[in-house]
Structure 1
Amino acid sequence: MALPTGQGRDQSRSDHFLMALMGAAMVLMMLEFMLAIHRNSAAIVVVPVPSVAVPSG
């Protein structure tokens, strides 16, 4: 017997997890960019992040 509010709670938790993942990816890419500039390296490696579509509504 599952509680009716359990699914909603899980959904919000997964949304927060997705937001945290995207934030971490942005921070990682910015750090990588800054490191590349700091080393004055011409080859800036951009890690291709799989396009995660933000659920609109």
Structure 2
Amino acid sequence: MLPGGCRLAWRPCHDAPPQGPEELRISPTGQACAVLPATEPGVYGLFWEWGDHPLPGGPPTH
């Protein structure tokens, strides 16, 4: 099963809610990539949507 969506989000600390979710393009093989040349301290992560499990911050925009 290929993912239905992927977003990049940042948190100032591990227990904070995700901020600034950015929709990432998913390749036909189900891969996504994020390049962050300049970042602020915190926790960065990719949030994947699989079937009925929506992404944080609302539904994907694609």
Give the TM bin, normalised by the shorter chain: under 0.3
Greater percentage in strand: 2
TM-score by length of 1: 0.24
- Between 1 and 2, higher relative CO (CA 8 Å, sep ≥ 6) is seen in 2
Greater percentage in helix: 1
TM-score by length of 2: 0.23
Q: Which has the larger radius of gyration?
A: 1
